[in-house]
Amino acid sequence: MKVLVTGAAGFIGFHLCRRLAATRRCEVLGVDNLSDYYDVALKRARLAGLAPLEKFRFVQADFAEAENFRRLHEGFRPDYVIHLGAQAGVRYSAENPAAYVHSNLAGFVSVLEACRARPPKHLVFASSSSAYGADASVPFSEEQAADRPVSFYGATKRANELMAHSYAHLHGLNATGVRFFTVYGTWGRPDMTPIIFAKAICEGTPLKLFNEGKNRRDFTHVDDIVDGLLKILLYPPPPPERAVPPYRIFNLGHHRPVEMRLFVAMLETLLGKKARIELLPPQPGDLPETCADLTRVQAAVGYAPRVALEDGLRGFVEWFKDYYRF
Cβ proximity of 219 and 253 under 8 Å: no
Give yes or no for residue 23 having a pLDDT over 80: yes
Report percent pLDDT > 90 for the chain.
Answer: 92
- pLDDT number for residue 286: 78
In sequence order, which residues have a C-beta less than 8 Å from that of residue 151 and are 6 or more positions away? 90, 91, 93, 94, 130, 285, 286
Would 194 be classed as within a structural domain?
Answer: no
DSSP labels, 168-237: HHHH---EEEEEE--EE-TT--TTSHHHHHHHHHHHT-EEEEGGGGT-EE--EEHHHHHHHHHHHHTSPP
Reduce the DSSP state of residue 321 to 3 states and report it: helix
Any domain includes 28:
yes
Interval 128-178: pLDDT, tens: 999 998 778 999 999 998 989 999 999 999 999 999 999 999 999 999 999
Average pLDDT (263-278) is 97
The rounded mean pLDDT for the chain is 95
Report the pLDDT value the prediction gives residue 84, as an integer from 0 to 100.
98
pLDDT of res. 240: 66
Instruction: Say what the pLDDT of residue 243 is.
Output: 62
Band of residue 25 on the pLDDT scale cut at 50, 70, 90: confident
Range of the domain at 61: 2-188+220-255+292-306
How many structural domains is the chain composed of? 1
Domain-embedded: residue 212 = no
Q: Domain for residue 205, yes or no?
A: no
Residue range 195-228, pLDDT digits in tens: 999 999 999 999 999 999 999 999 999 999 999 9
pLDDT digits (tens, 9 = 90+) for 68-112: 999 999 999 999 999 999 999 988 999 999 999 999 999 999 999
Q: What is the pLDDT of residue 35?
A: 96
Instruction: Please state the rounded mean pLDDT for residues 298-308.
Output: 97
The pLDDT value recorded for residue 284 is: 80
Residue 264 lies in a domain: no
For residue 223, which phi and psi values (nearest 5 degrees)? -65, -40
Task: Please report whether residue 321 resides in a domain.
Answer: no
Percent of the chain with pLDDT over 70: 99
pLDDT score at 24: 79
Is residue 263 one of the residues assigned to a domain?
A: no
CATH of the domain at 45: 3.40.50.720
Is 241's pLDDT higher than 70? no
Q: What is the pTM of this model?
A: 0.96
Q: What is the pLDDT of residue 136?
A: 86
Does 203 map to a domain?
no
Asked if the model's pLDDT at residue 283 lies above 90, the reply is: no
Backbone φ and ψ for 95, nearest 5 degrees, come out as -90, -35
Active-site choice (153, 184, 247, 303):
153
User: How far is residue 179's CA from residue 161's CA, in Å, rounded to a whole number?
Assistant: 10
**CA distances, 219 to each of 192, 193, 278 (Å):** 12, 10, 22
Q: 299: buried, middle or exposed (CB in 10 Å: 19+, 13-18, 0-12)? A: exposed
Asked about 153 being catalytic, the answer comes back as yes
Residues 6+ apart with CB under 8 A from 283: 91, 210, 211
